[in-house]
């Protein structure tokens, strides 16, 4: 009896922890996963967020907001003459049924005017605005994991946010 009770508690504890740190969220037919942002370097007040969205129906990501940033934008990133250039885009198309990783598709969510440094191990709350066909846009809350400044060297080298 005691053992059963204990294992029940453990499972509950594990489940609760998993929910708190989860960077994966389902909202109807839309699944958002692997949201993350790199920890900021001293003096850095902007950061790019990467995440993966799968929508059953064709949809558009219209915007993002976050309590940690003064303003947010959707950015595209392209290489022009060996320089990475970022541009604001009005929306990002989410093809039906496709697991769409922002970075691989040349996009990221831009957090401008960070109110405090982003530290490894923290999570950042994001509210995504996503519109499916003629339906009203829905807000989806997701937590982005703040990863080590040196998480991936290759990604770091092509990250123009560090020189903002
Ligand atoms: Cu950007």
- Residues of the domain holding 82: 24-163
| Residue 11 included in any domain | no
Reported as a single tens digit per residue, the pLDDT across 18-66 is: 444 455 666 678 999 999 999 999 999 999 999 999 999 999 999 999 9
| Residue 131 included in any domain | yes
User: What gap in Å lies between CA 83 and CA 14, rounded to an integer?
Assistant: 45
| Residue 120 included in any domain | yes
Distance 63 CA to ligand 1 centre (A): 13
Report phi then psi at 13, rounded to 5.
-60, -45
Q: Is the pTM higher than 0.85?
A: no
Distance 2 CA to ligand 1 centre (A): 54
Distance 109 CA to ligand 1 centre (A): 7
Distance 75 CA to ligand 1 centre (A): 5
> Among candidates 58, 68, 141, which has minimal Cα distance to 111?
68
| Residue 83 included in any domain | yes
User: What gap in Å lies between CA 17 and CA 68, rounded to an integer?
Assistant: 22
Residue 111: CATH number of its domain: 2.60.40.1890
Distance 14 CA to ligand 1 centre (A): 36
**Confidence category of residue 12, pLDDT binned at 50, 70, 90:** very low
User: What gap in Å lies between CA 121 and CA 133, rounded to an integer?
Assistant: 36
Reported as a single tens digit per residue, the pLDDT across 118-130 is: 999 999 999 999 9
Would you call 61 helix, strand, or coil by DSSP?
Answer: strand
Number of structural domains the chain divides into: 1
Q: Work out whether the CA dihedral 92, 93, 99, 105 comes out positive or negative.
A: negative
Distance 64 CA to ligand 1 centre (A): 13
| Cβ atoms of 97 and 56 closer than 8 Å | yes
CA angle 47, 49, 54 (to 5 degrees): 170
């Amino acid at each position: 009896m005691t053992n059963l009770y204990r294992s029940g508690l453990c499972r509950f504890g594990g489940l609760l922890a998993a929910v708190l740190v989860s960077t994966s969220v389902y909202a109807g037919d839309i699944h958002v996963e692997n949201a993350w942002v790199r920890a900021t370097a001293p003096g850095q007040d902007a950061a790019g967020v990467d995440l993966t969205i799968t929508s059953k129906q064709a949809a558009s990501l219209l915007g993002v907001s976050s309590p940690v940033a003064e303003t947010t934008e959707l950015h595209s990133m392209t290489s022009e003459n060996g320089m990475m250039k970022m541009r604001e885009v009005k929306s990002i198309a989410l093809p039906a049924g496709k697991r769409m990783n922002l970075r691989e598709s040349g996009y990221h969510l831009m957090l401008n005017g960070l109110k405090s440094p982003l530290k490894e191990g923290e999570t950042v709350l994001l509210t995504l605005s996503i519109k499916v066909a003629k339906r009203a846009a829905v807000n989806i809350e997701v937590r982005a994991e703040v990863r080590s400044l040196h998480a991936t060297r290759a990604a770091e080298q092509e990250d123009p946010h560090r020189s903002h």
